Amino acid sequence: MQQVLAANRLIRLAAYAMRASQAVYVNFAGRLDEARTIAFLAPVLRKVRGSPTTLQHLLGASTLPRAAVSGALRRMLRPRGPVVRRADVAAPHATLVRGLAAGTLTAAPPKRPGTGLPTDAGAVQQLPPPPPVPTMPPGLAWLLAHAWLVIALLLAALVVLGLLTGLWMLALLLAVAGTAVVLALGALARRRLAEIATAEEAATAATAPAAIVRPADVAEAVRLAPARDAFRFVERDPVVPPDARPGTEVVTDVDATSTSPNAVRFTRVTTVTATRAGVDTVEARAFRTAATALERRLAIATIPEVARPTFDLAVARDKLRAAVEPLRAFPRRVAAGVRLVFDPAWLLQAEHLVPAMAYPDFDDPMYEKLRDLSSELLLPNLELIPPNSITLLETNPPFIEAYLAGLNYEFGKELLWREYPTDRRGSYFRQFWDVRGILAEPAGESAASASERGKDIAPLDTWLPDSALGSHRNPRRPPGEQLVLTVRGDLLKKYPNTLIYAQKAHPAPSPATLTGDPVLDAVIVPVASDADVAREIRFPVFKASVDPDIRFFGFDLTVEQARGADDPRTDADDWGYFFIIQQLPGEPRFGMDVTFTPDDDPATPLTWNDLAWTLFPDGHRFVDTTVLPQGFVPAGPGESLSQWGSDSARMATILFQSPVMIAVHAREMLAGEP
């Protein structure tokens, strides 16, 4: 009760806030353009999914910086602020956001090196011009391209000369000499081409930016250079002349730019610290460290600029509006904290954001309350049912519906008086009969569905005003009256696990034995599969009891279905149903019948199962293996009177009571029915 009241309070507050927020949303936020919507709803960008990340992440990766939609910039560019009054632009903030999102505006120009800073291109321009590239004489180039053609023509000409003059020796000498000349010229041309290619590569390398050695490569080369044990450090006009220390040699010389008396003179100081062979001098180590540090500083490269995509303001606006629209946002928030059992998604619709009108649903069989008041209210003249008898009754749907309708009406008044949060449309009691332990639940069926399947009437708020009592059966149950098998006696008290069901009747298999009586000619056939059980057998769908010895079992059968056709002849006709009371197999019992009742057919042989106490002398109250039954000779398969008292196993077999089954056709119990 307290949880329902707390949930209703939350729902009422959320509904009030939703309507107030919806008015603000429609009159203000809903009228903003794309740029103003993004700026106004910037705080929720990190909570709204884009595709596939959040809008906050998409904004940070786009051309629109996050600072453009920040609160600080919005305050700076407020419509009546000093910045906007000086700017000759209408709506400067919206214009700025649109331009940045489209990529037509940038927060700052692209970063370029200053005019006074050295660049790779400037260094290339300061390089000396490359050496001239040698050229190939035109004739030599043609000869290189057609050397084998020249040799072939020369040989052909010499062959013709030999044929005409007969001077074959001369022709041969000329052929050898000509071939050698052509090959020599070809080798000269190829060498010339190699020189030209080398010169072109040198010229290209000298003018390309790659000709400048990268600082990182220089630093690595200096670090890996071999040790210098004779390295000298030379300075010109040092600001602080070095001091000679033990092991350090300092040599000072005076140099001049020329021999003229007016020449510029400077001091050259050479410092070297002797060390062992293969080890850097002190000056070499200092130079190596300084050069490496310098080149590493020069090797610091700028981060390459990443191409940023534009930011789609229209898509972002639509997603933001869908996320913050009060008619969607508030129901989602309430549904996260209030869960309705019948439909968890019910509160996701704005029109359903109303206080929960819950009502209790009782599965208790209400016939018990009526029976406890008086059994005459449940079934008048109940005491007229004979003891140790079975009979068929019929349910009274109008009475059941009238009783449950009045019960629900009075209980609704009680809930209203106690201020229970209900709209009085609830059906608190819809269960008249007891279905506990009767209805089997199909695999995978929920508890709520199983409970609904056992209800006797439809919800009262679905009853039409002009409908008649008795017409409001649960849609999941068959309409109309139902047969109720009534058993009175001590049988079910002594054997509470007795199996009771109805099974279809069939004609006897031998037509010659038919008598024309539907009851005597009807038999039951064995069932061997689940399909046969579903087709042939009906189990009870509800039960009831009246102490001390009356039990009711309801079946989804009508009187017509149970009785069958009036004059059935073939198996295609309706032979009705047998109602069967069967001892549950698997519960062995041992003993004898109270009275000896042989089969009506004298030809039927006696068996140990027919043994009774009346076959022994009067006064016997226990089994005496020395006393044989009188006038009883078992003739069943493998049975003989000599087995009596032979051993305990034989006695257990003799006294074993086979399970009992009683089948009574419905026509016998409906003999007086029209």
φ/ψ of 216, rounded to 5, equals: -65, -40
DSSP string, 2-69: HHHHHHHHHHHHHHHHHHHHHHHHHHTGGG--HHHHHHHTGGGGGGSB-SSSBHHHHHHTSSS-GGGG
Which residues, including other chains, have CB under 8 Å from residue 393's CB and lie 6 or more apart?
379, 483, 484, 486, 552
Distance of alpha carbon 674 from alpha carbon 672, whole angstroms: 7
Strand partners, 537: 503
- In 3-state terms, what secondary structure has residue 575? coil
DSSP-H helix ranges across 41-167: 55-60, 71-76, 82-86, 92-102, 120-126, 138-145, 147-165
Mean residue pLDDT of the chain comes to 81
Q: Tally Cβ neighbours within 10 Å of residue 621.
A: 7
Smallest Cα–Cα separation from 281: which of 294, 291, 271?
A: 271
Kind of pairing between the strands at 265-273 and 577-582: unpaired
Tokens of 263: 């020449």
Peptide bond into 209 cis (omega under 30): no
pLDDT of residue 509: 78
pLDDT of residue 674: 55
Helix (H) or strand (E) run with residue 222 in it? helix 215-224
Dihedral sign, Cα of residue 474, residue 475, residue 480, residue 481: negative
pTM equals: 0.53
Distance of alpha carbon 208 from alpha carbon 105, whole angstroms: 35
Distance of alpha carbon 22 from alpha carbon 319, whole angstroms: 17
Which residues in the chain land under pLDDT 70? 1, 88-91, 110-148, 150-151, 158-163, 166-168, 170-171, 175, 182, 185-186, 196, 199-214, 217, 239, 299-305, 340-342, 439-444, 511-514, 619, 672-674
Distance of alpha carbon 521 from alpha carbon 115, whole angstroms: 120
Dihedral sign, Cα of residue 600, residue 604, residue 606, residue 610: negative
Q: Tally Cβ neighbours within 10 Å of residue 102.
A: 14
DSSP string, 258-298: SSSTT--EEEEEEEEE---TTS--HHHHHHHHHHHHHHHHH
Rg (CA), the chain: 57
Distance of alpha carbon 319 from alpha carbon 45, whole angstroms: 10
Strand partners, 663: 580
φ/ψ of 499, rounded to 5, equals: -95, 130
Amino acid letter for position 500? I
**Is there a contact between 489 and 389 (Cβ–Cβ < 8 Å)?**
yes
Kind of pairing between the strands at 265-273 and 248-256: antiparallel
Distance of alpha carbon 241 from alpha carbon 250, whole angstroms: 10
For residue 188, give Cα distances in angstroms to 138, 140, 144, 150, 152: 13, 9, 9, 16, 20
Tokens of 674: 């029209």
DSSP-H helix ranges across 569-635: none
Stated length of the chain: 674
Distance of alpha carbon 188 from alpha carbon 310, whole angstroms: 62
Which residues, including other chains, have CB under 8 Å from residue 491's CB and lie 6 or more apart?
388, 498, 581
Distance of alpha carbon 659 from alpha carbon 137, whole angstroms: 125
Kind of pairing between the strands at 542-546 and 499-504: unpaired
